[in-house]
Chain A
Amino acid sequence: MADDFHAVDLFRRIARDDQLITDRQRVSGYAVDGILPKAVLFPESIEQLAGMVRLASQENLALVPWGSGSKMGIGNPPSRLDLVLCTERLKSIIDMDTANLTVTVQAGARFREVQQALAGEENRCYLPVGDFAEPGGGKICSNRAHKGCFIPLWPLHASTATMGGIIAAKSSGPMRLLYGQPRDLLLGVRYVAATGEVIGMGGKTVKNVSGYDICKLLVGSAGSLGILCEMTLRLLPLPESRNTGLFFFNGLEEASDFVEAFFRSGMFPAAVEIINRRAWETLALQEAEAPKAGKYLVAVALEGFAEAVDRMASEAGRMARESHAIHEHLLGNEAHGLFWDSYSNIASYLYETESNTASIKMSYPISRYGAIIRDAEGAAEEYQLGYAFTAHAGSGICYLHLFMGRESPDTLERAAGAIRKLMGCCGRAGGNVIVQKALPKLKQMVPVWGLPREDLVVMKRIKEEMDSQGIFSPGRFVGGI
């Protein structure tokens, strides 16, 4: 494969030695579904990244972008792979405009670090208003009781995920119930297209109908249309008050009754999650927080004005007792953040302790939170697989983690059987199943993007227009795009 070595060597002209790794051992840390790239590139500027894409395009090399690697399990194995382009050195926070409630970051910036920086940023309004200037010449124009902003998301793998990865994988979390999803938060983007050009779309305004909404196209495009470099997201001021109610139940029916009652009451919770014992065991809850018995936990996040949060907490407690909760605990403001932080890492915790976990995301119409969980449990039990699940009760989404244990034809067949079965269940309910992580062999046994839909025909034409050569993550996306 002398040609390949030649092609990779071309990159030495535009990358320093420490920006291009080719030795097999280090490259093996960047395998995509078990396939090793020939080299891993670490661009340090958008211009340099664009140059790399131009070169890849000239040499027809296939390229897969990589942030922190937390969601690389999503997608088909690449149909070909030459380069992994790692964004970890593009990690600047370019602009924290808290008065305008926007933040602009580079793709490799870690979600957690951006969120920390925002929380500490004073929420000043920068208007040159003489009357309110402080004696020292400051520009504060209000007596704030308030401080800090946040990106209203708690995405999966929040402690490692990069901003680019979150957008590319449209990774959401429990708070999507109140605050929406990445598609609702992304206002502007700069990315490198297959031509090697840097493309800018959207901007810093919440309202923007100038031309097509290319931001929407890129959210969830999983590296198949371009390499995200810079993103502008909408922020919110930190809520005045936060609390979380933990309500434990013996049966799924009681848990669902409670959720149903709470939704019907006209409350505006930030998140309502139903999870099973195996999932909450990863959270290391204190003795007072979790009971020894109980099969299901409904965790309710409440954010907003203090009075509203207090009322929602007390109503949730009353309704949970009416639905025969066996234990309840209110976490309070401080523990709220810690709880949801570790909650977002449940999958990562499971991957540390269980070998060969297959994770899927199931979707149903949102009212059917009971059915989706019943089906998930039923399939796991029928195929004799250990499991944990976390379900967004108000969004119709359930993440199911199936523990395969040792890889063998039998375990692979059982995991595939459970996934196929759930694909049927979700399909009948009008939903779908998307595989989040699975062994490459298992991926060959099930359609990892779920059942094909009729809009695939347009998606294929978009890919053809945007990347006719097929250099961006070839074969990994829906329908082999």
Chain B
Amino acid sequence: MGIEDVISRLKEIVGEEYVLTSDMDMTLYGYDASQEKGRPDAVVLPDSTEAVSRVVSLAAEKGIAVIARGSGTNLSGGTIPTKGGIVIHLSRMNRVLEIDLPNRTATVEPGVITLDLQNELLKKGFVYVPDPASQKVSTLGGNVGENSGGPHCLKYGVTTNHVLGAEVVLYDGSVIWTGGTNQDNPGYDLTGLIVGSEGTLGIVTKVILRILPAPEAVMTMLAIYDTIEDASNTVSAIIAEGIVPATLEMMDSVIIKAVEESVHAGYPLDAAAVLIIELDGLYDGMERQTEKIVGICKRHNVRRFQVAKDETERARLWAGRKGAFGAVTRLKPSYMVCDGTVPRTKLPDVLNRVMEVGGKYGLLIGNVFHAGDGNLHPLILFDERDEEELAKVRKATSEILRICAEAGGTISGEHGIGIEKLQEMPLIFSEADLEVMRRVKRAFDPEGIFNPGKVVPGPA
């Protein structure tokens, strides 16, 4: 049975209009937000768990790869069909199935846009915390697949800390629930394994998310520095004072300039670093904590300190951070973002070494990162049409990840391994460690049909 027959079976399952096969579509579904490219054989858009299950059964029967994807904002090539196969685009499964305030859960389909759920919850006085910068476009299924982070993860943890259970289509098309609304289910924490597995273990078709009451008060502050060391040291000092803010975000001078030109967030063009600090919780004590933070910033030579007076000002302070990735394309058409993560105390040293790498290869690097949890995002700016430059970028990326690994950190904090960082996995894992991961893969997907060639490199 050739691919034509498979396509006609797919059309029977999801309906003719929801199977894409045109040349243009195959090109469009061949890339994500990374530098990698591929090409699927077909794209299907199912609208139910049952349809996903039937597509997976068909693929299993024919030994065809299956790649689940949402909006494709992932940054490591995780959704790229490198070996062809069927892309299951889950955008039609975008229903919020239940918001259960007393039990503090939201049950959603994977295609729900992160910010859509957050807006709906906020109207009811609740929040779903993980807030990746792509939240306007990214889907919750994608967030689950990548175990996405975001600025507010310093205090509240990443996606995995907010997923209580999932409905999962397994390799043979069977459907199981892991976890659930109630806590402490017996057995292995399969939900914890599936979150962040980049679609290589199964396809999540429903998710139960933990929601929290919205904090009564939020205090957003902006601190501007003349040196990046002062800003970094402020970050560590705040935590040393026993304050764990909701966020501690930093941008360096390259990013500040790019952002200022595109978003006009009000950052001075000659600043070396900008720090966004946000506290949340009850009103009580917030003023005093803010005073304490002002004091810490002053001790670290802050040039200017600003507290957002209202929601509009808060949005403006954030606009720069949220728009940073988009803004840098003003400087160069392409960027490569690393997301190595190091113990927070290693940040100043690692930042210096990252800039040295940039100097060595003559590449422009901007830094915008989650300083509070040691999650770097050096953006290497370049022009992908310049092949010589692209080769340098790949070398520089690898070096930066090595620096992070040597500093006791890891090669990916929130963007995932995908295919982009497969080669770097041995920097942090031994062959025996990787073999454990291969065993997990085999337990879930013995035939290797789910998103093959991702996350775990083949045996050395």
Interface, chain A (partner B; CB < 8 A)? 97, 99-102, 123-127, 129, 132, 141-146, 170, 172, 180, 183-184, 193, 195, 197-201, 203-217, 219-221, 236-240, 266-268, 304-308, 310-312, 361, 363-367, 395-397, 429-432, 434, 449-450, 453-459, 461-462, 464-466, 477-479
Contacts and interface: CB of A to CB of B under 8 A. Distances in A.
A449 B186 contact: yes
A119 B229 CA distance: 29
Given A146-B242, A204-B409, A210-B425, A127 B345 contact: yes
A306 B289 CA distance: 10
Interface of B: 102-104, 125, 146-147, 149, 153-154, 157-158, 160-161, 170, 174, 176-178, 180-193, 195-197, 201, 213-214, 216, 229, 232-233, 236-237, 239-244, 281-282, 284-286, 288-289, 296, 299, 341-345, 348, 370, 373-375, 408-417, 421, 425, 428-430, 432-434, 436-437, 439-444, 446, 455-456
Given A212-B197, A237-B244, A193 B432 contact: yes
Contacts of B147: 209, 213
A219 B188 CA distance: 8
Nearest to A447: B186
A395 B373 contact: no
A312 B282 contact: yes
A204 B147 CA distance: 17
Contacts of A268: 281-282
Contacts of B239: 99, 101, 125, 237
B176 A454 contact: yes
Contacts of A143: 299
Nearest to B348: A127
B90 to A, nearest CB: 20
Contact of A213 (B181, B192, B348): B192
A432 B186 contact: yes
B216 A266 contact: yes
A365 B102 CA distance: 9
Contacts of B214: 266
A213 B146 CA distance: 11
A211 B281 contact: no
Contact of B184 (A124, A434, A459): A434
B180 A430 contact: yes
Contacts of A464: 443
Given A99-B344, A206-B153, A211 B425 contact: yes
Given A209-B412, A308-B281, A455 B178 contact: yes
B240 A142 contact: yes
A48 to B, nearest CB: 18
A307 B443 contact: no
Given A100-B345, A429-B182, A199 B436 contact: yes
B282 A459 contact: no
B184 A361 contact: yes
Given A125-B237, A141-B233, A454 B193 contact: no
Contacts of A221: 188
A365 B409 contact: no
Given A212-B196, A217-B192, A310-B284, 9 more contacts: A127-B345, A127-B348, A206-B374, A210-B417, A219-B189, A240-B242, A363-B182, A396-B183, A479-B187
B359 to A, nearest CB: 22
B425 A145 contact: no
Nearest to A434: B186
B420 to A, nearest CB: 12
A307 B288 contact: yes
Given A102-B343, A308-B281, A211 B429 contact: yes
